[in-house]
């Protein structure tokens, strides 16, 4: 670990909803390798801003697993909940500028409206000031195209007003929404590139909208393919993904490199995690993942 400045700063930001599973490991490996092969820093942030979904002790399980697999992060582990004051401040800024407004619409109110890639396309019902005691906060959008060049998936373009509508930045229950929290935290931590699963590709234009509203720079993005089970579902707690085994970490790490198309030599499987990382950081080739969207996990025994 080091506190020296780095021109590249990446991060891994798991939510403590359960133990680290194989799909999460792939994201950790890709983001770690990307940072280290650029002589950059790799930060670890626990995204604990949704208590109803969190599992007690999951953060420790995640940290223990990452240590077992030989990951070394720069600086202390941070917790997203510790940045709550920054999140609230930014919500107030958007409200005061008129870029955000309270919304009292319920799911039932919106049930008949069209759906886009990220759910119901909000029709702007509360833009004119309809409020109640229990209201979410939404940010205004428009139809100017938001586009970015993803390092693996190429050019991505979205028109937010017609494809998602004004989106929530603070929930009715008072919790800060993921999009706002991650944008604010990435800015304060100086993140220069975000490496994560392709399931978040369609969320990126929303985050760019917030970056522009705050005057933040937009980091680079690399969305890697996600691990899927036999039914084609993304591995997650909801789809029954099991935590990775820490008793045979080197074998699982080897499998992760294979799944990420890095073609490690077979005899490396029996080496230590340190030796596997030594090989991986010399031989890492991001372009082997270009254009790929899914990684079947079953051939590796994790689906």
The CA distance from 206 to 248, in Å, is 39
Query: What residues contact 162, with CB distance under 8 A and at least 6 apart?
Result: 116, 121, 143
The CA distance from 25 to 121, in Å, is 33
Token pair listed for 66: 């990452």
The reported pLDDT for the residue numbered 244 is 93
The reported pLDDT for the residue numbered 106 is 84
The reported pLDDT for the residue numbered 132 is 60
- 84-180 domain in CATH 3.40.50.620? yes
H or E stretch including 84?
Answer: helix 84-97
The CA distance from 48 to 37, in Å, is 29
Helix then strand count (H, E) for the chain reads 9, 14
Q: Rg of the Cα trace of the chain?
A: 20
Domain extents in the chain: 9-76+225-300, 84-180
The reported pLDDT for the residue numbered 237 is 80
DSSP structural state of residue 289:
G
**pLDDT (tens digit, 9 = 90+) per residue, 264-295?**
999 999 999 999 999 999 999 999 999 889 99
HEC-encoded secondary structure of 104-139: CCCHHHHCCCCEECCEECCCCCCCCCCCCCCCEEEE
Token pair listed for 34: 């990307």
Q: Which residues of the chain fall below pLDDT 70? A: 1-6, 130-133, 303
Query: What residues contact 112, with CB distance under 8 A and at least 6 apart?
Result: none
The reported pLDDT for the residue numbered 1 is 43
- 9-76+225-300 domain in CATH 3.40.50.720? no
The reported pLDDT for the residue numbered 299 is 87
The reported pLDDT for the residue numbered 119 is 83
């Amino acid at each position: 670990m080091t506190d020296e400045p780095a021109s590249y700063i990446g991060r891994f930001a798991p939510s403590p909803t359960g133990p680290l599973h194989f799909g999460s490991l792939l994201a950790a490996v890709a983001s770690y390798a990307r940072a280290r092969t650029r002589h950059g820093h790799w930060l670890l942030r626990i995204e604990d801003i949704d208590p109803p979904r969190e599992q007690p002790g999951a953060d420790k399980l995640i940290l223990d697993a990452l240590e077992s697999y030989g990951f070394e992060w720069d600086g202390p582990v941070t917790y997203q909940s510790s940045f709550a004051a920054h999140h609230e401040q930014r919500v107030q800024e958007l409200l005061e500028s008129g870029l955000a407004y309270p919304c009292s619409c319920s799911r039932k109110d919106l049930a008949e409206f069209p759906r886009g890639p990220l759910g119901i396309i909000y029709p702007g019902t509360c833009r004119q000031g309809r409020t109640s005691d229990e209201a979410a906060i939404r940010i205004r959008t428009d139809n100017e195209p938001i586009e970015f060049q993803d390092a693996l998936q190429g050019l991505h373009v979205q028109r937010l007003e017609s494809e998602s509508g004004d989106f929530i930045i603070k929930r009715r229950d008072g919790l800060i929404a993921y999009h706002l929290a991650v944008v604010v935290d990435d800015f304060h931590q100086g993140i220069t590139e975000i490496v994560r699963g392709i399931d978040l590709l369609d969320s990126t234009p929303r985050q760019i909208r917030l970056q522009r509203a705050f005057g933040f720079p937009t980091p680079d993005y690399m969305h890697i393919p996600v691990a899927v089970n036999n039914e084609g579902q993304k591995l997650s707690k909801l789809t029954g993904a099991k935590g990775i085994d820490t008793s045979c970490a080197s074998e699982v790490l080897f499998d992760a490199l294979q799944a990420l198309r890095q073609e490690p030599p077979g005899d490396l499987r029996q080496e230590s995690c340190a030796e596997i990382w030594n090989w991986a950081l010399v031989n890492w080739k991001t372009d082997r993942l270009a254009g790929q969207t899914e990684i079947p996990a079953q051939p590796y025994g994790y689906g």
